[in-house]
């Protein structure tokens, strides 16, 4: 009876926290809600933009970044509408900013708040190359990888008692430790050139973001075949030097390109030059 009383609430919490990643169907463990993650992400995002140089929307490069971000966000919404889950992205407030930095990097926070660094543009070269990067980063947010890492950290650090769930509970009971975990996962107001996401995505999450990203960029009207060329350029940049932050925790170049080639036949079924997604046979 004592074991039932002790572990029963924990079992209920675990069952409640089970979720599935779109497209891949992988099961994941989430103890935090979208609204909690999105709210904290918005605060961190504002702090970051306030302490970094944002390129004006009137510039050609910034306009391109925003255009690609908007197309991929619309494609993602379209995907969920066509697959019978139109409310999946409720609460997402999409925003993309170009930030001055030599770092070859980009990231997207929960809720759709994204930053692209100017340092990655010489590697992306084209809109399609940029769509590879942005589709990948947006997919981290859509697959709730940040919430997954927060949940794992909350359990590992004992921030929740048995049967408890949610960031608000953890913040109320152990505010310093919970805020510290958040800062470790996402960083707060990082200086120009610093990588906001500090606690690395696992390699499985990186490959998963590649998968989702290829689908979303294809639906947005960008040829997913461009992903092979882009990652080839990243591999060349990586040779003989310290890898860019964008690559520091990712699968090896050869492994990533091989995995992408396996996914391309699926992604190509979603691709139409106009970005309508009507060519797809996957819905």
Pairing state of beta strands 27-29 and 18-20?
antiparallel
Main-chain dihedrals φ then ψ at residue 252, nearest 5 degrees: -60, 155
Is 36 tagged catalytic?
A: no
3-state DSSP assignment of residue 26: coil
* CA gap 189, 187 in Å, rounded: 7
* CA gap 155, 29 in Å, rounded: 11
* CA gap 124, 101 in Å, rounded: 15
* CA gap 28, 22 in Å, rounded: 11
Active-site residue, from 137, 148, 206, 226: 137
In sign, the C-alpha dihedral spanning 224, 229, 235, 238 is negative
DSSP lists the bridge partners of residue 264 as none
* CA gap 71, 69 in Å, rounded: 5
* CA gap 76, 275 in Å, rounded: 11
* CA gap 157, 75 in Å, rounded: 37
Q: Which residue, among 138, 74, 22, has the nearest Cα to 274 in the 3D structure?
A: 74
Q: Which residues are catalytic?
A: 137
């Amino acid at each position: 009876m004592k074991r039932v009383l002790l572990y029963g609430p924990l079992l209920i919490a675990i069952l409640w926290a089970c979720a599935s990643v779109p497209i891949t169907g992988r099961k994941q463990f989430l103890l935090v809600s979208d609204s909690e993650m999105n709210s904290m992400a918005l605060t961190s995002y504002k702090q970051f933009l306030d302490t970094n140089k944002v390129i004006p929307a009137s510039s050609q490069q910034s306009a391109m970044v925003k255009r690609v971000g908007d197309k991929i966000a619309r494609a993602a919404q379209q995907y969920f509408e066509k697959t019978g889950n139109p409310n999946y992205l409720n609460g997402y407030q999409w925003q993309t900013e170009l930030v001055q930095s030599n770092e070859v990097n980009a990231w997207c926070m929960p809720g759709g708040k994204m930053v692209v660094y100017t340092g990655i543009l010489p590697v992306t070269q084209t809109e399609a190359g940029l769509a590879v990067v942005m589709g990948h980063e947006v997919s981290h947010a859509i697959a709730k990888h940040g919430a997954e890492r927060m949940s794992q950290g909350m359990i590992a650090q004992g921030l929740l008692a048995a049967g408890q769930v949610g960031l608000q509970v953890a913040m109320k009971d152990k505010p310093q430790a919970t805020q510290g975990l958040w800062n470790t996962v996402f960083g707060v107001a990082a200086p120009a050139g610093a990588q906001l996401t500090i606690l690395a995505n696992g390699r499985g999450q990186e490959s998963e973001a590649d998968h989702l990203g290829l689908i979303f960029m294809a639906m947005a009207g960008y040829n997913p075949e461009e992903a092979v060329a882009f990652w080839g350029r990243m591999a060349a940049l990586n040779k003989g030097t310290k890898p860019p932050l964008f690559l520091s925790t990712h699968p090896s170049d050869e492994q990533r390109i091989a995995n992408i080639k396996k996914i391309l036949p699926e992604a190509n079924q979603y691709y139409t030059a106009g970005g309508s997604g009507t060519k797809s046979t996957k819905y």
